[in-house]
Structure 1
Amino acid sequence: MPEYLDEVLRQCADDDEGALADYIPELAAVDPDRLAVALCMPDGQLYGAGDVDALFTIQSISKPFVYALALMRHGLDGMERFVGVEPSGDPFNEISLEASGRPRNPMVNIGAITTHALAGEEGAAKEDLFEEIRRGLGRFAGRELAVDERVFESERATAHRNLALAHLVRSYDVFSADPRDVVWGYTRQCAVQVDVRDLAVMAMTLASGGTNPLTGDQVVPRWVARQVLSVMSTCGMYDVAGDWMTDVGMPAKSGVGGGIMAALPGFVGAATLSPRLDRTGTSVRGVRIFEKLSREMGMHMMETPATATQVLRRTDEVSLAGGAAHRLQLQGPLHFGSTERLLRRMQEVPTDREVVVVDLGHVTSVNDVARRMLLEGLRRLGADGHEVVLVDPNSALPGRHAEDVAASVVDELPLR
């Protein structure tokens, strides 16, 4: 997986379109060539490539997680009294209000500012409200997160439009706090520092029904995770949400710090970093990376097959004419998620077993990325000195490719 992700970055690295977020002085000074990608699996396994240690500010990617915290406090019906869930079709900083003064959704700035005000106790001091949100973001990430004070001060000095939006919502009595305090906290929320692995874990927490895959912490109930993912699907990418959903097909959120976070329920949390932005404030290379991952790894939510409850039907020792062998008997559909688990089990094959049998007799389907991953796994078993016997009665792997990586391909295992 790290090798594949390196390959993805190499193929997308030459795109230098877009520009830094120059309306925030500190963001205009970041390295424009930073590039990273990370994936988090349902069991917490992390993969990454590129500048995975680079810290950057979370910016608008904080919005779905603070929305989750507000949902916890007010419930679904309660939150919908204050903030809607309909796509605005507008840029992120537009005045997207309904006639009643209710923001159209929590992903545009005017809705996110309102959501920030509602995420804590009524009348809480701005510092206490922010600390509650910072701790909540840390539970999603599985570690404590800090604030980039320089970015915070830079954004606060240029937050005139957000102040205007906050005063506008306050004029409708949607929240009761001082708009200046709300924008102070919202700006600080956006200045929380993360790396791509943090975002991948946060995405996987939503994709796992609210359970953090690293800590096992049930951060939010399943219904909250479902609601957040639903709103991300329709509103997370602002006025290009339709293009994103048709091209990539994953609930997602972008930020002007250069990050994109996406969650495929039950399968994977993913994140990218590349600071050059398009006209919508979204990372140019980040979009390109996600389009490639979706296309090559079968990540589009409208085409992802059901996950096999257990990719390994059985692992045992069998007797062949030539002696003992270690057998991996597979089942169900093979796709990225199930085959990734299989490859890790292949690494545990006993070194004292010269012959390894991989039995595809109970496999129902193999998509393109799973085929590529499985062939590479078989090749590496051979490179480790094992003789690989492939049982493939339904021709799940094309004969020429299978014969390249297996010592023998049979329809039925000749047990002794």
Structure 2
Amino acid sequence: MTKTLLGVSIFSFSILFSATTLAQTTPDYAKLIDQAHQKYKSNNDGKVADYIPALATYSPNNFAITIATVDGKIYQVGDVNKPFPMESLSKVFTMALAMEQHGPQVVLDKLGANATGMPFNSGLAIELTKGAPENPLVNAGAMSAVSLIEAKDKTDRWNKILDNLNVWADAKLTVNEPVFKSEMETNQHNQALAKLMESYNSFYGNTDEAVEIYTRQCSVDITVEQLAKMGAVLANKGKSPFNGKQLLNEKYVPQVLAEMAIAGLYDGSGKWLYTVGIPAKSGVGGGMVAVVPGEYAIAVYSPPLDEAGNSVRAQKTIEYVAEATQANVFLAK
């Protein structure tokens, strides 16, 4: 009798201790993002992108945060139902598709993995490297990545890129046609970058076709929840916690995250890695996603940008949450 009671007591204590430990070690994500939203919603720093006329129409007050965990949970606050153009966020997932098709060595050899130290649309960076785009997250490298996608023709290439975005987002995404039209009317600089790379044999298909498809992928609308789900694939070893599909070879995930760490925030990437310490990618539409391997992805939408083209509120929000959850990948765990 005594042994039985003692055994039950020990078992009960063990369950209680485990539950208490879990509660202590699992961050209160809902509380954290609510605190961040309250803390930064009145921040008016930055400016909405206007070099693409359609982007200038978005309200600077839009602000939304979503965390997607590797066990498939969603936490969110703010304007979570307001879609926005992916812009440079799309580069990560087309790069991942190219890597899935060709392997990381081809991506390294043809697209690179070095920071340029220059703006994301720099032509000088291409000249200095004799045509090497340096990484697939600057415009030159991203367009080159599009040209690397294996396809029968232009339509097939676009369908593969869009299908890839859809399955990562666990949603059916669509192109924002007014944004696409606006970007096509103002993308002469990207056309020039593509031709410049072609002159150095650093382009792997028709330049006009690749620029158009690249512009179209940048114009795909997304919400913060969908973006966070995409990031969660990378946090979860290349497997979506939401549809259960292995979307990227687990062995390739570190290379994708490395590219994000190197150039995800344009020429602000080094400072971001130094101060926050997690891989991230931004877009001039105001979106930003960051990945904490094995734990969660956080996506933020807020249009006002800093001089480098990164959302001001998004950076502050992600830094706040990352610090609270000790997410810095350089910290000893």
Normalising by structure 2, report the TM-score.
0.88
**Which residue of structure 1 lines up, in the alignment, with residue 239 of structure 2?**
211
CA RMSD of aligned residues (A): 1.3
**Contact in 1 for aligned 2:147/2:206 (Cα 8 Å):** no
Q: Which structure is richer in relative contact order (CA contacts within 8 A, separation 6 or more)?
A: 2
- Displacement of 1:235 in angstroms is 1.5
Pick aligned residue for 2:248 from 210, 215, 220: 220
**Which residue of structure 1 lines up, in the alignment, with residue 25 of structure 2?**
none
Pick aligned residue for 1:279 from 281, 289, 307: 307
1:78 is the counterpart of 2:124: no
**Which residue of structure 2 lines up, in the alignment, with residue 65 of structure 1?**
93
Q: Any idea what SS the aligned residue of 1:65 has?
A: helix
Q: Any idea what SS the aligned residue of 2:290 has?
A: strand
Gaps of 5+ in 1: 306-416
Superposed CA deviations along residues 102-149 of structure 1, whole A, max 9, x for unmatched, are: 21001111111101111233xx42222111101001111112211111
**Contact in 1 for aligned 2:291/2:297 (Cα 8 Å):** yes
**Which residue of structure 2 lines up, in the alignment, with residue 108 of structure 1?**
138
**Contact in 2 for aligned 1:58/1:257 (Cα 8 Å):** yes
**Which residue of structure 2 lines up, in the alignment, with residue 178 of structure 1?**
206
Q: Could you tell me which amino acid in structure 2 is paired with residue 286 of structure 1?
A: A
> Which structure has the bigger radius of gyration?
1
**Which residue of structure 2 lines up, in the alignment, with residue 200 of structure 1?**
228
Distance 2:155 2:219 in 1: 14
Distance 1:289 1:176 in 2: 38
- Displacement of 1:299 in angstroms is 1.6
**Which residue of structure 1 lines up, in the alignment, with residue 291 of structure 2?**
263
Distance 2:106 2:33 in 1: 42
Q: How many residues align?
A: 303
Q: Any idea what SS the aligned residue of 1:40 has?
A: strand
Distance 1:5 1:47 in 2: 8
Q: Could you tell me which amino acid in structure 2 is paired with residue 18 of structure 1?
A: G
Distance 1:166 1:295 in 2: 39
Distance 2:283 2:50 in 1: 14
Gaps of 5+ in 2: 1-28
Change (3 A) 1:297 1:77: closer
Q: Could you tell me which amino acid in structure 2 is paired with residue 254 of structure 1?
A: S
**Which residue of structure 2 lines up, in the alignment, with residue 119 of structure 1?**
149
1:161 is the counterpart of 2:158: no
**Contact in 1 for aligned 2:144/2:204 (Cα 8 Å):** no
Q: Could you tell me which amino acid in structure 2 is paired with residue 183 of structure 1?
A: V
Superposed CA deviations along residues 171-204 of structure 1, whole A, max 9, x for unmatched, are: 1222342211111000001011111111111111
Q: Any idea what SS the aligned residue of 1:59 has?
A: coil
Q: Any idea what SS the aligned residue of 1:26 has?
A: helix
Superposed CA deviations along residues 286-311 of structure 1, whole A, max 9, x for unmatched, are: 11111211222212112262xxxxxx
Distance 1:108 1:24 in 2: 17
Q: Any idea what SS the aligned residue of 2:313 has?
A: helix
Superposed CA deviations along residues 223-248 of structure 1, whole A, max 9, x for unmatched, are: 22221001111111121111101221
Superposed CA deviations along residues 33-69 of structure 1, whole A, max 9, x for unmatched, are: 0001110111110000001111011110111111110
Distance 2:78 2:256 in 1: 29
Q: Any idea what SS the aligned residue of 1:232 has?
A: helix
Distance 1:228 1:4 in 2: 27
Superposed CA deviations along residues 199-231 of structure 1, whole A, max 9, x for unmatched, are: 111111011111001011000101222210011
Runs of 4+ in 1 over 3 A off after TM superposition: none
Change (3 A) 1:166 1:199: same
Deviates more, 1:72-81 or 1:130-139: 72-81
**Which residue of structure 1 lines up, in the alignment, with residue 177 of structure 2?**
149
Q: Any idea what SS the aligned residue of 2:281 has?
A: strand
The equivalences for 1:8-407 within 5 A come to 8-95=36-123, 96-97=125-126, 99-121=129-151, 124-303=152-331, 305=333
**Contact in 2 for aligned 1:298/1:304 (Cα 8 Å):** no
**Which residue of structure 2 lines up, in the alignment, with residue 406 of structure 1?**
none
- Displacement of 1:100 in angstroms is 4.1
Q: How high is the sequence identity, in percent, across the aligned residues?
A: 37
